[in-house]
Amino acid sequence: MPAEAIPMVVEFIVQHKVHFTVSKKRKTKLGDYRPPHDGKPHRISVNGDLNQYAFLITTLHEMAHLLTFIGHKNRVKPHGIEWKSAFKLVSQPLITENIFPADIELALNNYLQNARASSCADPRLYRVLSRYNENNQLRVEDLKIGTKFKLNGKIFVKGKKLRTRFECEEVYSRRKYRVLGVAQIEHIIEEKK
């Protein structure tokens, strides 16, 4: 994460006695929060393969879950208004201190107006964050309709655009899937001639 954010995050971890783990890449989530249980403290894990800004935003996301749990236990929705309020609360000092580049700050402020369960769910924020990745991969939205590509070990054919997703057909099962336009593909499958 950006060096300027470390003191604030460390203070939060110490204050709330959090067991913080940097995890291996997980396909289904960028981070995770677990409340205290069986003598274990609050636990937060964040994927270590994220760029510094995505890592920080994911950490803030999980810190907001911890604050929501402290205030409401399990009586509220995981990404309800209480969590959204906590997310704004933990993000604001870092936005005020100009920790983020201007493009991320703008996208993050927009996202915080109605934050969702994942930063990946907001195409604008996801696109801006992906600019800071070391290996800027192709996304589904970059491909022409009819292009074959590999994603999560399966081969798909890109279909028509719906809203933020594309209707793609998995080649072997012929099942239709709705794939986010910002989903990063493994590689394009070249047609043999």
The CATH T-level fold of domain 3-130 is Zincin-like (3.30.2010)
Render pLDDT for 110-142 as a digit per residue (tens, 0 to 9): 999 988 777 677 888 988 998 888 776 788 988
Instruction: Produce one character per residue of 131-152: b if its CB has 16 or more CB atoms within 10 Å, e if not.
Output: eeeeeeeebbbebeeebbbebe
- First-to-last CA distance in the chain? 46
pTM tops 0.85 = no
Spatial distance between the Cα atoms of 79 and 108, rounded to a whole number of angstroms = 16
At 146, is the secondary structure helix, strand, or coil? coil
Q: Look up residue 144 and give its DSSP letter.
A: P
Q: Domain residue spans in the chain? A: 3-130, 140-189
Task: Decide if domain 140-189 falls under CATH 1.10.3470.
Answer: no
Structure confidence by residue, pLDDT tens digits, 169-189: 999 999 999 998 888 887 787
